[in-house]
Amino acid sequence: MVMEMTQEGKAREVLVIGGNRYFGKRLIARLLAAGDRVTVLNRGSSAPPPGAVHLIADRDDENALDSALGARTFDVVVDQVCYTPRQAAVARRVFAGRTRRYVLTSTVEVYAHEDSPARVREESVDPLGVEVDLALPWDDAEFLASHYGAGKRQAEAVFAAEPAFPHVAVRVAHVLGGADDFTGRLEHYASRIRAGEPITVPAVNHPATYIHVEEIADFLFWTVGQDFTGPVNAASHSTLTTHELCEAVAAHVPGGRTVFRETEAGAVSPLSFRRFYGMDNTRATRLGFAFGDAREWLGRAAGETLREAA
């Protein structure tokens, strides 16, 4: 086994906050396979794989988080479950002096207010220009669900406001693939295609950028070993349309029928968009990461997720 080493020649100390499912668990597996000393912190909902240290704490409870960490320090922290500026503020205070670098898993949804003919670059949303409002009802699940992108934007802003806190905000494209895809988005298409029911899309339906579940795990693992900071887009090459997604799904639904219904202002199916805010991956590419092409892995991703329907 080739072990990843720090500059001092020691195995890296990496903390993953969350990471119980989907690409988070894949990241942990990659870190362990590389010989990193991995600590996983969560609320105790599930134990990490063998070889990882398990810490239990509610990341919203600053005292509990501080107590669970004790005197531990880390080369890198990967935060998979920071959704609000309040959580970011707690993390920034608790991890100041405890880590050399903090990697926040952010989202393409920070760009949800954009509408550009070109793919958006990182500077389209400058965290230093984002207003932070800690008084909003971030603890309310319904509010948080409807303000997901805003919560991530403000979380990025909290970290960016402290220059002495080296951090990365990985803005993740829409993730597809894996039999453990819990989002139900492709199954939504499959169920409607199976029944011949219409799939509702905007009258002007824009394509989007995507990334395979294994590729984002690779990207986060690669990021752990780098030294860059600031926001970075993580997306496969090529955009995909709702029609292309449905075509890939339909290949695994024998006898189904794909019907689209357009709407000007009503509710639409998942992964259909009234705005274009596909991400430009130039920065990550120049830093040295090689992305795949979404059109090349889309069929495989649909098969992985819909294997029971195939």
Dump strand ranges (E) for the chain: 13-17, 37-42, 53-56, 74-79, 99-107, 167-172, 174-176, 198-202, 208-212, 230-234, 239-240, 259-263
Pairing of strands 208-212, 239-240: antiparallel
165-174, pLDDT tens digit by residue?
Answer: 999 999 999 9
Percent of the chain scored above 90 by pLDDT? Answer: 89
Q: pLDDT at position 266, please?
A: 87
Q: pLDDT at position 235, please?
A: 98
Helix (H/G/I), strand (E/B), else coil: 218: helix
pTM as predicted: 0.94
Mean pLDDT for 29-47 is: 94
Q: Which residues pair with 200 in a beta bridge?
A: 261
Q: Does the pLDDT at position 244 exceed 50?
A: yes
280-299, pLDDT tens digit by residue?
Answer: 999 999 999 999 999 999 99
191-225, pLDDT tens digit by residue?
Answer: 999 999 999 999 999 999 999 999 999 999 999 99
Q: pLDDT at position 165, please?
A: 95
Mean pLDDT for 263-275 is: 93
With cut-offs at 50, 70 and 90, classify the pLDDT of residue 17.
very high
Q: pLDDT at position 9, please?
A: 57
Pairing of strands 259-263, 174-176: unpaired
**Mean pLDDT score across all residues of the chain:** 93
Q: Fold for 13-176+210-238+278-291, please state it.
A: Rossmann fold (3.40.50)
Listed residue (88, 18, 5) closest to 48, CA to CA: 18
What's the number of CA atoms in the CB half-sphere (13 Å) around residue 175? 23
Helix (H/G/I), strand (E/B), else coil: 77: strand
